[in-house]
């Protein structure tokens, strides 16, 4: 076993607490790949017609109408939020911190931590949830409100010709040509303001920070304050530089201010930690899924 992995395993075992900070790289390690085979399986028709080749690009495409927009987004939401989690990395990560005083902050919107059994009172999803709609222009009664979307998304998929199994796997029946539009009556309208709905994903200042978001933010802040002097491991997994201030820079600052804290980073790049905390840092380059499997052996 890699010496750094042994050091991190020992540090987690001895720590009073663990703060996990998870970015897109962790979801990728779990199998949530936005291009290649997964894209081709569910979006080859969109790729051929509109010329994009990954789900991320598809999310920003200017579709000709809302019927097409929701046909695309219903598929995206379902396979990345409700269908079975592709790998076991979240289960193993839970094994790693089970019995510890932990908290999770994540920019991911696939809700895998809660689905894998992490305590929802110890989770802060900062950037939203694929499983929620919000008003496209929240105001008045729709301000700070979100709406569960599973049944609406299910209806959209069935209308396109998909089948959905008992465990929520999305199936394309053999020989069936899928529709790339949903019926107009399935386009979601906000029950509070009557306007169009959209995904609850942070992209501008209209993102709805609902009561659940507010409570999670307060729990996160309280947990951080309570552990300022604790022997704690700040475990960053798969975090890049799209929104570094949420996790990466925050973790660096927390470790810098607490002489008993350790910064650990699992990432493909293996970028070194800042010099100010280098002696209290463990940076491990490689596939996060494989590293986590070794940590729980």
Q: Where are the alpha helices (DSSP H) in the chain?
A: 3-14, 24-29, 37-50, 55-59, 66-77, 89-97, 112-116, 150-160, 211-226, 248-257, 288-295
Is the CATH number of domain 1-32+87-127+209-297 3.40.50.1220? yes
Asked if residue 85 lies in contact with residue 30, where contact means CB atoms within 8 angstroms, the answer is yes
Stated as kind and residue range, the H or E segment containing 17 is strand 17-22
Q: What is the pLDDT of residues 57-112, one digit of tens each?
A: 999 999 999 999 999 999 999 999 999 999 999 999 999 999 999 999 999 999 99
> What is d(CA 136, CA 9) in angstroms, rounded to the nearest whole number?
45
Between CA 246 and CA 239 the distance in angstroms is: 10
pLDDT of the residue at 1: 64
**What is the mean predicted confidence (pLDDT) over 143-148?**
97
- Arithmetic mean of pLDDT over the chain: 96
**What's the average model confidence in pLDDT over 151-180?**
97
Rounded CA separation 23/104 (Å): 11
In 3D space, the residue among 156, 147, 141, 94 whose CA is nearest the CA of residue 119 turns out to be 94
Q: For residues 121 and 216, what is the distance between their CA atoms, to the nearest angstrom?
A: 7
Rg of the Cα trace of the chain? 20
pLDDT score of 160 more than 90 = yes
Q: Confidence class of residue 271 from pLDDT cuts 50, 70 and 90?
A: confident
Which H or E run includes 284? strand 281-285
Distance CA 297, CA 284 (A): 17
Q: How confident is the model at residue 243 (pLDDT cuts 50, 70, 90)?
A: confident
Cα 51 to Cα 43: distance, rounded to the nearest angstrom: 11
Sort strands 147-148 and 128-135 into parallel, antiparallel or unpaired: antiparallel
Residue 229: partners with Cβ closer than 8 Å, 6 or more residues away: 258, 260
């Amino acid at each position: 076993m890699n010496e750094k992995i042994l050091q991190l395993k020992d540090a987690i075992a001895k720590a009073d607490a663990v703060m996990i900070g998870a970015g897109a790289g962790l979801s990728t390690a779990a199998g949530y790949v936005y291009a290649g085979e997964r894209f081709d399986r569910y979006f080859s028709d969109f790729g051929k017609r509109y010329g994009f080749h990954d789900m991320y690009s598809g999310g920003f495409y200017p579709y000709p109408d809302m019927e097409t927009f929701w046909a695309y987004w219903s598929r995206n939401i379902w396979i990345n939020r409700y269908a079975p989690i592709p790998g076991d990395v979240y289960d193993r990560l839970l094994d790693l911190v089970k019995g510890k005083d932990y908290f999770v902050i994540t920019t991911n919107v696939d809700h895998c931590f809660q689905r894998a059994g992490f305590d929802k009172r110890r989770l802060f999803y900062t950037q939203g949830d694929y499983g929620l709609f919000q008003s496209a222009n929240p105001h008045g009664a729709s301000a700070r409100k979100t709406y569960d979307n599973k049944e609406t998304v299910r209806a959209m998929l069935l209308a396109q010709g998909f089948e959905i199994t008992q465990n929520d796997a999305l199936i394309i029946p053999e020989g069936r040509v899928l529709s790339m539009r949903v019926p107009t009556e399935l386009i979601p309208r906000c029950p509070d303001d009557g306007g169009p709905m959209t995904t609850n994903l942070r992209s501008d200042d209209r993102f709805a920070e609902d009561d659940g978001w507010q409570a999670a933010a307060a729990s996160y802040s309280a947990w951080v304050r309570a552990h300022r002097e604790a022997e704690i491991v700040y475990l960053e997994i798969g975090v890049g530089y799209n929104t570094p201030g949420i996790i990466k820079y925050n973790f660096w600052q927390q470790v810098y201010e607490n002489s008993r804290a350790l910064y650990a980073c699992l990432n493909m790049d293996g970028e070194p930690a800042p010099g100010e905390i280098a002696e209290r840092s463990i940076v491990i380059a490689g596939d996060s899924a494989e590293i986590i499997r070794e940590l729980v052996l």
